[in-house]
């Protein structure tokens, strides 16, 4: 008994006069499979993806607040359904923002270079900050305008711990569209922004822990303080760079 034939289905068999088997093309060839259909991906007609776009294309683009409010509301609901307390909820929001901060750092540095700048007058190459103060300046004057179209309201250093800094936002966007119940009054949905700040710090080599705290006043009921605590080895490196005169 002969085994199963390995001949492709697009060919048919024909036996010649001397008993040899020949293969001839079939009249109905099997159609080739589209690579995109096997992977489930749909490519545009121009064969370009989002990675082919210019990073400056959305430099001045703005997202509607209604769209952001809807998306952020869904993020909070998704996280709330999977936690049991306020601290776990804030931790989950922080973890959602951390990867975004890592990517935003590269985008900020790219747009600070002549290749990524819209003007041709730039001459100096942008580099990652080496000291704590330039990093905090990057957060308050570059990152904040990129996210919220305005700089942070204030930057302060702790008087008791030199390794702690406070970024103050009087009107955080994340707190404007979330109604917090009375039994969860300590919840700060700005933990998502704290995760973004922490991601930028970690990506730049300044390992830290960033937390958000509600500090309401009569004038600013949604006032939020982002507490940035740098690790000990970061502070030790800061002292060595200061002794070496590196800014």
pLDDT higher than threshold 60 for residue 108: yes
> What's the whole-number mean pLDDT along residues 172-197?
91
Highest mean pLDDT out of 3-12, 51-60, 125-134, 204-213: 204-213
Whether residue 37 is contained in a domain is answered as no
Q: Are 226 and 193 in contact (CB under 8 A)?
A: yes
CB 136 within 8 A of CB 155: yes
Q: Say which CATH number the domain at 69 has.
A: 3.30.1380.20
Residue 28 lies in a domain: no
Task: Dump pLDDT digits (tens) for 110-139.
Answer: 877 655 555 444 445 567 899 999 999 999
pLDDT band at 22 (very low <50, low <70, confident <90, very high): low
pLDDT tens string 51-72: 666 666 666 667 788 888 899 9
- What six digits make up the tokens of 156? 């302060």
Write the DSSP assignment of the chain as a string of letters. Answer: --------TTEEEEE-TTS-EEEEE-SSPPPPPPHHHHHT----TT---GGGS-TTTTTT----HHHHHHHHHHHHHHHHTT-SSHHHHHHHHHHHHHHHHHHHHHHHHHHTSTTT-SSS---SPP----SHHHHHHHIIIIIHHHHHSS--SEEEE-SS-TTEEEEEESS-GGGSS----GGGTT--TTHHHHHHHHHHHHHTT--EEEEEEE---SS-TT-EEEEEEE-HHHHHHHHHHHHHT--
Residue 179 lies in a domain: yes
Name the pTM for this structure: 0.75
pLDDT at residue 58 in the model:
62
Residues 6+ apart with CB under 8 A from 29: 10
The contacts of residue 111 (CB under 8 Å, 6+ apart) are 55, 56, 59, 117
Q: Can you tell me which residue has the tokens 């704290």?
A: 194
Query: 152 phi and psi, to 5 degrees?
Result: -65, 155
Number of domains the chain contains: 1
Encoded tokens for 241: 């760079």
For 154, phi then psi, to 5°, come to -160, 155
Output the CA torsion sign for 40, 45, 48, 53.
negative
Q: Does residue 72 fall inside a structural domain?
A: yes
pLDDT digits (tens, 9 = 90+) for 76-102: 999 999 999 999 999 999 999 999 999
94 falls within a domain = yes
- Position 111 in a domain: yes
Higher pLDDT, 245 or 27: 245
Whole-angstrom distance, CA of residue 240 vs CA of residue 247: 11
pLDDT at 33: 55
In a domain, 234, yes or no: yes
Q: Does residue 212 lie in a domain region?
A: yes
| Structural domain harbouring 171 | 63-116+126-244
pLDDT confidence of residue 65 = 85
Contact 194, 97 (CB under 8 A): yes
Q: How far is CA 5 from CA 17, 28, 32, 102, 211, in A?
A: 21, 19, 21, 55, 67
């Amino acid at each position: 008994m002969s085994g199963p034939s390995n001949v492709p289905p697009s060919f048919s068999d024909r036996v010649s006069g001397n008993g040899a088997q020949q293969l001839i093309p079939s009249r109905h060839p099997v159609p080739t499979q589209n690579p995109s259909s096997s992977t489930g991906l749909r490519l545009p007609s121009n064969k370009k993806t989002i990675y082919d776009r210019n990073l400056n294309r959305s430099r001045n683009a703005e997202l509607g607040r209604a769209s952001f409010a809807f998306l952020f509301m869904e993020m909070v609901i998704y996280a709330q359904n999977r936690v049991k307390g306020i601290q776990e909820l804030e931790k989950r929001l922080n973890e959602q923002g951390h990867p975004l901060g890592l990517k935003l750092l590269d985008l900020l540095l790219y747009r600070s270079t002549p290749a990524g700048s819209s003007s041709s007058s730039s001459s100096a190459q942008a580099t990652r900050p080496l000291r704590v103060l330039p990093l905090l300046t990057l957060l308050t004057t570059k990152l904040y305008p990129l996210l919220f179209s305005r700089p942070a309201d204030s930057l302060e250093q702790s008087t008791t711990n030199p390794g702690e800094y406070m970024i103050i936002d009087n009107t955080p966007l994340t707190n404007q569209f979330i109604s917090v119940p009375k039994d969860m009054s300590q919840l700060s949905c700005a933990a998502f922004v704290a995760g973004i700040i922490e991601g930028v710090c970690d990506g730049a080599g300044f390992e830290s822990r960033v937390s958000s705290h509600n500090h309401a006043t009569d004038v600013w009921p949604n006032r939020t303080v982002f507490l940035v605590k740098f690790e000990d080895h970061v502070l030790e490196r800061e002292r060595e760079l200061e002794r070496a005169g590196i800014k």
